[in-house]
Structure 1
């Protein structure tokens, strides 16, 4: 297992570098690079959505998953944990003078949490390495995460580094679970799962760019229900 370690190390190195450099990073770079990262996220989202097999499945999964996320208040829970981590770190290390409100801070934090932990590249990269031993996708993701963590840590500070923990846990679980999960899936299920992830990535890109504030974390349960819905759709609605 190489990919999860490389990807986690990239987030840690990038986050530490950005938090330490802080205001020494040029203003243009700090303000313009997040738009590039948002554009990249939207581009990845589009590339994943076009692979959809059953479009109604992707839409239904997104709707039902988002409703589930709202009911269990997933985003509020993530923000609460993020707030606790931020306060713990801020008591020991002076927070960056970023001028962000608590709401703006949490929006950015949740957006990069999704980008690091729930992107299609990370999910499929982990499963691919678990099945074939090929870590190339996660290594490519590590390059993107290195710079993303660095730029966002300038504004958000050291809490960005902590995102390496849930990212590593998720990727490791997918790595070891791939041999069990993949044989139970079909190409259509994987394609629909990818499309749902793409829609979430597209929404993440809008939020990173500051265009629209989506409830991204509350959309994540759509990934849990995408494959079961796809399997049921193929069984009952496809001749």
Structure 2
């Protein structure tokens, strides 16, 4: 079953989030300190991912083009409205913003990175779900911790996670016919690096050091593929 790994990943996020809901009533000062710890860990994870880049110019151009596109279409505002709308269906009035924050933050953390992409590709190309199941265990624990501070919105991230990874897995069944393996591997490296910097931005926001409009940088995840392709044409 091509989607087995993706479904297990989603299930573990749900389980982790449900357990996390039982710990949301802890005192605010505990939540604040825990969130700072999460923020520091997220920054470290993002830096580790960002440092894998082999061409810094690709990373820079991807972020710049993504930022321009995101600002033009006001993607951050749209994501916030989506999170608030979803939150209004599950929570009482007045708490939608925190739901949107939890939804966006968790979605970015769970979707961006090498494990999500490589795991989904392994599921589709080789029928090997080990990477996604391992990612699911990690995501489950992360969802538990995030839910204690960001609340119910974290569990809603399972929807884009399943759709995103599922789409990659289904596409991967045909991808070898279209894209050479060497090109695909190189693009994944740069995609991981761009995603890593976005995760660093999440960590900085969680630490309240900055207030980066991460949603408006998301198109960089798409533009990195185009820029990497153009770069390969130039150097070859």
Could you say which residue in structure 1 is the equivalent of 2:66? 65
Map 1:51-130 → 2, pairs under 5 A? 51-91=52-92, 102=97, 106-130=100-124
Could you say which residue in structure 2 is the equivalent of 1:198? 196
Could you say which residue in structure 2 is the equivalent of 1:42? 43
TM-score normalized by the length of structure 2: 0.84
After TM superposition, give the deviation of residue 163 of structure 1 in Å. 1.4
After TM superposition, give the deviation of residue 226 of structure 1 in Å. 0.5
**What are the superposed Cα offsets for residues 1-56 of structure 1, whole Å, 9 maximum, x if unpaired?**
33211211112112222224431x57676334433433333233223222222211
Map 1:149-160 → 2, pairs under 5 A? 149-160=143-154
After TM superposition, give the deviation of residue 134 of structure 1 in Å. 2.8
After TM superposition, give the deviation of residue 114 of structure 1 in Å. 0.8
Could you say which residue in structure 1 is the equivalent of 2:179? 184
**What are the superposed Cα offsets for residues 122-176 of structure 1, whole Å, 9 maximum, x if unpaired?**
2222123222333233223222322222233234433322211111111100111
Alignment partner of 2:211: what SS?
A: coil
Q: 133, 136, 156: which is aligned to 1:139?
A: 133
Could you say which residue in structure 2 is the equivalent of 1:16? 18
- Verify the 8 A CA contact 2:102 2:151 in the aligned structure 1: no
After TM superposition, give the deviation of residue 112 of structure 1 in Å. 1.9
Task: Give yes or no for the alignment of 1:31 onto 2:32.
Answer: yes
Task: Give yes or no for the alignment of 1:164 onto 2:158.
Answer: yes
What is the count of residue pairs matched by the alignment?
230
TM-score normalized by the length of structure 1: 0.83
**What are the superposed Cα offsets for residues 167-192 of structure 1, whole Å, 9 maximum, x if unpaired?**
11111001111233455151332322
Task: Give yes or no for the alignment of 1:218 onto 2:212.
Answer: no
Q: Distance in 2 between matches of 1:47 and 1:194?
A: 10
- RMSD value, Cα: 2.6
Task: Give yes or no for the alignment of 1:207 onto 2:205.
Answer: yes
- Verify the 8 A CA contact 1:130 1:179 in the aligned structure 2: yes
**What are the superposed Cα offsets for residues 56-104 of structure 1, whole Å, 9 maximum, x if unpaired?**
111001110111111111111111011111111114xx988xxxx94x6
